[in-house]
Amino acid sequence: MKNKLIAEILGTFWLVFGGCGSAVLAAKFIATEGATPINLGIGLVGVSLAFGLTVLTMAFAIGHISGCHLNPAVSIGLCVGGRFKAGELLPYIVAQVVGALAGAWVLSIIAGGQAGFTTAAGFASNGYGEHSPGNYSMMSAFVAEVVLTFFFLIIILGATDKRAPQGFAPIAIGLGLTLIHLIGIPVTNLSVNPARSTGPAFFVGGWALQQLWLFWVAPILGAVLAGVVYPLMAGSANEKNSAAR
């Protein structure tokens, strides 16, 4: 268990540092050549890909140790779907939140080295209403987070099914996370992961912490629904296995 929890801390650190770091440091990077500003930012597509790559790389790196959940909603969805022991659920969630906080802390140190930086600008936090990148309502944000988490868990449960092609689950899961970021960043900055939301929100405070409830409730609801639906759809019971077999 100790090794599993260390792996989850490091993996979730990498997800928050890599994914949120791409948003904070690289999404709108402007370089200056002479008097001409040049936009070298990676934009929405780059940030989406960064989040997917963090999961893909960690799935190969630690999937054989902890299952590479990196996400309380994933752990809960796998538990509901019969793929994860309920007794390990709380320690996993604690480890994931610790990793997310650590990743956000290191990112804040690096980003703080630039003159004028402040976490009040958002720091890749998730939000709705005036704090949504596209000014989407709370209802839009809630529905988006439920639906996108639901399909993310369906991808995870399907890709790690013992009847699925073996060895490709990390690729499917990483690309799945990229896709749902492409859809959801304009709505909420996309969470589908309560730990990922908690890390940046802790350093922003104020509105980010006030709205954090949605980014726990909606992803967990979507994950629970997937944990119920996938076994009904898939038919025969599957052996317990990890999120990145």
pLDDT tens for 90-111 read 999 999 999 999 999 999 999 9
- Is the model's pLDDT at 245 over the cut of 90? no
pLDDT attached to residue 116: 87
Give the model's confidence band at 192: pLDDT under 50 very low, under 70 low, under 90 confident, else very high. very high
For the record, the structure tokens of 47 come out as 């940030």
Give the model's confidence band at 227: pLDDT under 50 very low, under 70 low, under 90 confident, else very high. very high
pLDDT attached to residue 243: 53
Question: In this structure, are residues 79 and 86 in contact, taking their beta carbons and an 8 Å threshold?
Answer: yes
How many other C-beta atoms can be found within 10 angstroms of the C-beta atom of residue 32? 8
Every domain of the chain and the residues it spans: 2-234
Dist. CA 110–CA 236, nearest whole Å: 49
Question: Does residue 29 sit in helix, strand or coil?
Answer: coil
Q: Tell the residue number behind the tokens 């893909």, with chain if given.
A: 56
> Residue 132 carries which DSSP code?
S
The mean pLDDT value of the chain amounts to 93
As a CATH number, domain 2-234 is 1.20.1080.10
Q: What percent of the chain has pLDDT over 70?
A: 96
> Residue 133 carries which DSSP code?
T
Distance of CA 173 to the CA centre of its chain: 11
For the record, the structure tokens of 186 come out as 């304009």
Residues 6 or more apart from 69 whose CB is under 8 A from it? 8, 11, 75, 78, 84, 92, 96, 242, 243
pLDDT attached to residue 240: 47
Residues paired with residue 30 on neighbouring β-strands, in sequence order: 39
- Is the model's pLDDT at 64 over the cut of 60? yes
